[in-house]
Structure formats: structure tokens, C-alpha cells
Amino acid sequence: MTRSSHAASWLRPRASSWRCDPAPSGATEFHQSLPGYRPTALVESPALASELGIGRLFVKDESSRLGLPAFKALGASWAIHQAISARVLGPGATGPGSLEGLRELASRAGELRLVTATDGNHGRAVARFARLLGLPSEVYLPEVIARTHPASVEAIRAEGARVVIVAEDYDATVATAARAAAGSPEAELVQDTGWPGYETIPATIVAGYSTLFREIDDQLRAAGVTTADAVVVPVGVGSLAQAAVTHYRGGEAPEGTVLVSVEPDVAACALASLRNGTLTTIPTAATTMAGLNCGTPSSLAWPHLRDGLDCAVAVSDDQADTASRDLRAQGVDSGPCGAASLAGLRAVLDGFGNDLGLGAESHVVLLSTEGR
Ligand SMILES: Cc1ncc(COP(=O)(O)O)c(C=O)c1O
């Protein structure tokens, strides 16, 4: 293992030979059945590729996903599908193949309330699907998010959710939501991070994200690219990065894709964990990259991050803001979390592109995980 000397990075090339189980099936077929489903765009930017000195650059634009401005609906919808199916039909049940079927199943679930904690996007997605299914929802938000991103609170309320503001950080807000749900049998906690004893639902969230990577495979193939040489993933608790590792290291996946995580410099819990070699909680501070403002990696994601990532970097709000402007100039509506991937790629190529084998021939994919 090589540790980078740069303070805000970690490097361990050749992770791509590590193997894990592939993603379970079912999520993509369910997503494809949802009203309004269509693959989000994979936008190529020759101008940015040329600026960065790489072969081709593709940006997966998640600014409009199932009617919401971030990728999170993929995880929330599939996790809710699986939770309701397990409640009504029993563990391991396949469940219905449509939203209509799921609504009918939810009506047989008796008293059921969906509960979650969020930095914004996940809670909005849970609240949206609860509304579509005719279920009540309860969404816990850290006070810092409510203060700095009031529009997020309003968007969640507009879905009909009861919003609870918690005067603590994201980690403590998750714990508060978990305690609230534990007290009532009708409450189903739909959380996008795992901890010891709570990993079944987060695993279904990660499985839901697999749709995004399947779409990228098809879209790259259509663009004449067989394998991405690198994929750059914005990281909060690391569930999306776990899905990336599962996709690119799972089963028979071809070797050779470098996986890079990017976090805010004030909330780089995956980077701290990788540098320490153990799952680590860090204090966090306010950042424009609200969706990435998490202090502890998911326990479920951690082994995948530890063994399956090649590189981790942290970026500042200023770097993300510049990247956001640059992506918008290329026609991609990219909010701060989404643009973190471009800021991270710049840091990687400046620092250790050679170590990772990235250069003039490389084909790189950035996940732009939210719009503005
Ligand atoms: C827009 C956006 N990008 C990326 C992430 C990171 O996902 P994860 O927390 O699974 O690492 C989030 C998480 O909420 C998000 O909202």
C-alpha cells in the first residue's frame, strides 16, 4: 500500500484486481417499470478532456432522476420496495414489478410509516416515494442543513413529510431517527448508511444504485468505449462508492477501472478511515457540498472502500464551486456535490495521475450526482 504524502489524499493503486460479490438483481427492472424512468444522460466533454490532458471525459448527469434533482431516488425506491415486500410477503420475497403493485402491497401493510435522516436528497426521495405509495413519512435533518439549505427542508415538506430538525450533526441526526423508529413497530427506518446491526436496508439502497452503473456501461458501449479507465465518485457515507466498487470489482467485471472517492475537506471521513486503516469518525463543519457532509462511513460500505478504492481525495468548497461553473459551461447542471467529482479529478491528475496510469489515452467517467 502506498500512502500519499499529500495531506488531503490517499493512494493505493491496483485495487482493481480485488474481487467482491456482484450486485443482486431486481432493482434495475423495478426502476425501468417506474413512471418517468429513463436513463440519465452521459455527457461527453471534449473541452474538459483536452484541458485535463486525458483521452475522453464523460459526465453522468444525475440532475434529473425520476423527477428529482439527484441520483438518490434509485436507492430509496428500491429499499422501500424491498422493505414493504419483506413486511407483507416475508423476508426474501421477490415483490411486485411495478409502482402500482407496490402501492397495493403497501395498503396491506397495516400501519406503516417511513422514517429517515438526511442531508437533503435522500430524505426528499424517501418522502417522494412515501407520497406515491400513500404512506406517511418522517424525515430528520441536521440543524446546519436546515439553516444553510432551507429550500431542502421545504422540498421535503412539499412531499408531505413531517420534518424534524435535530440540533446536532448528521451522525447524531441518524442516531435520533434510528431511536425514534426503534420505538414504534409501524415505523420502517429507510437509512442510506449502515452500522453494526443495521445493514439489511442499506444493502438494498446500494443495490438500487446499481442501475446507474448499468446505464453507464450501455452508454459507454454506445460511445465506442469498452471499459472506463477511471470513475470518480462523490462520497458522503460511501454507499454510492460501495455500489461503484461492487459494479467494477464484482464477479466477472473486467479489471482495470481506477476508482476514486472525493469528499469535502471538512467532512472527509472515508479519507480519514483509509489513512487510518480502520473505520473512523471525524468532526465535520458546514460545506456547500451538503449531501457529502457525513462524519462516519457506512459500516457496510467500509470493507468495499478499504479494499476496492484506488485513491481518495478531499476538495474545498471553492474547488467544487469552480468545477460546478465549469460543468455548467459544458451543459451539465451540476450542483456542488456533483461537481466535487471534477474537482477531485483535477486534484488526482495534478498529484498522481501517473501512479494511477491515467494520461492522454484514458477514458474517465465523473458522477455528477445532483443538479443545482
Ligand atoms: C448529491 C449527492 N452526491 C453524493 C452523495 C454521496 O452518497 P453516499 O452518502 O452514499 O456516499 C450524496 C449523499 O447523500 C448526495 O446527496
Per-residue DSSP letters for 78-137?
Answer: HHHHHHHHHHHH-TT----SSHHHHHHHHHTS-S-EEEEE-SSHHHHHHHHHHHHHT--E
Q: Are residues 359 and 224 in the same domain?
A: yes
Q: Are residues 191 and 225 in the same domain?
A: no
Question: What pLDDT, on the 0 to 100 scale, is given for residue 3?
Answer: 42
In-domain check, residue 1: no
Q: Are residues 230 and 329 in the same domain?
A: yes
Contacts of 333 (CB under 8 A, 6+ apart): 61, 63, 371, 372
Task: Strands of the chain (E only): list them.
Answer: 9-11, 42-44, 56-61, 113-117, 137-142, 162-166, 187-189, 230-234, 258-264, 311-315, 363-368
Residue nearest to atom 13 of ligand 1 (CA): 291
> CB count, 10 Å around CB of 74?
31
CA distances in angstroms from 38 to 28, 69, 103, listed in the order given: 11, 14, 21
Q: Are residues 170 and 223 in the same domain?
A: no
Of 369, 370, 372, the residue with max ligand 1 atoms within 8 A of its CB, to mutate for a pocket test, comes to: 369
pLDDT category of residue 347 using cuts at 50, 70 and 90: very high
Q: Are residues 81 and 66 in the same domain?
A: no
Of the candidates 119, 171, 192, 229, the residue annotated as catalytic is 119
In-domain check, residue 3: no
User: What's the domain count of the chain?
Assistant: 2
C-alpha cell at 328: 455548467
In-domain check, residue 300: yes
In-domain check, residue 40: yes
Question: What pLDDT, on the 0 to 100 scale, is given for residue 15?
Answer: 83
Q: Which residues line ligand 1 (CB under 6 A)?
A: 70, 72, 119, 121-122, 192, 234-241, 291-292, 337, 369-370
> What's the rounded Cα separation, in Å, for the pair 261 and 258?
10
Residue 99 has pLDDT above 70, yes or no: yes
Among candidate residues 145, 174, 198, the one where a domain is terminated: 198
Whether this prediction's pTM lies above 0.75 is answered by yes
Residue nearest to atom 12 of ligand 1 (CA): 291
Crossing angle (nearest 10°) for helices 73-89 and 121-133: 50
Residue 235 Cα to ligand 1 midpoint, Å, equals: 6
Question: What pLDDT, on the 0 to 100 scale, is given for residue 270?
Answer: 98
Question: What pLDDT, on the 0 to 100 scale, is given for residue 7?
Answer: 55
Across 64-68, 75-79, 91-95, 220-224, least confident range: 91-95
**60 catalytic residue (yes or no):** no
Among candidate residues 136, 171, 198, the one where a domain is terminated: 198
Q: Are residues 267 and 309 in the same domain?
A: yes
Tell me, what DSSP letter sits at residue 237?
Answer: S
Residue 6 has pLDDT above 70, yes or no: no
Could you identify the atom of ligand 1 that is nearest to the CA of residue 118? 14
Tell me, what DSSP letter sits at residue 164?
Answer: E
3-state secondary structure of 75: helix
Could you identify the atom of ligand 1 that is nearest to the CA of residue 122? 14
Q: Are residues 167 and 238 in the same domain?
A: no
Domain of residue 176, CATH code = 3.40.50.1100
Residue 158 Cα to ligand 1 midpoint, Å, equals: 21
Among candidate residues 168, 198, 228, the one where a domain is terminated: 198
Residue 69 Cα to ligand 1 midpoint, Å, equals: 12
Residue 187: CA atoms inside 13 Å, Cβ hemisphere, count?
A: 15
Q: What tens digit of pLDDT does each residue of 243-276 get?
A: 999 999 999 899 999 999 999 999 999 999 999 9
Residue nearest to atom 10 of ligand 1 (CA): 239
Q: What tens digit of pLDDT does each residue of 116-170 get?
A: 999 999 999 999 999 999 999 999 999 999 998 999 999 999 999 999 999 999 9
Where in the sequence is the domain holding 349, given as residue range(s)?
9-70+209-368
> What's the rounded Cα separation, in Å, for the pair 282 and 261?
17
In-domain check, residue 50: yes
Residue 294 Cα to ligand 1 midpoint, Å, equals: 9
Could you identify the atom of ligand 1 that is nearest to the CA of residue 335? 1
Residue 15 Cα to ligand 1 midpoint, Å, equals: 22
Q: Are residues 360 and 233 in the same domain?
A: yes
Q: Are residues 219 and 184 in the same domain?
A: no
Average pLDDT, the chain: 96
Question: What pLDDT, on the 0 to 100 scale, is given for residue 2?
Answer: 42
Q: Is the dihedral of CA 208, 209, 210, 214 positive or negative?
A: positive
Q: Are residues 125 and 217 in the same domain?
A: no
Residue nearest to atom 3 of ligand 1 (CA): 369
Q: Are residues 82 and 63 in the same domain?
A: no
Q: What tens digit of pLDDT does each residue of 322-341 get?
A: 999 999 999 999 999 999 99
Question: What pLDDT, on the 0 to 100 scale, is given for residue 5?
Answer: 40
Q: Are residues 144 and 276 in the same domain?
A: no
**CB of 229 within 8 A of CB of 364?**
yes
For 215-232, what is the mean pLDDT?
Answer: 98
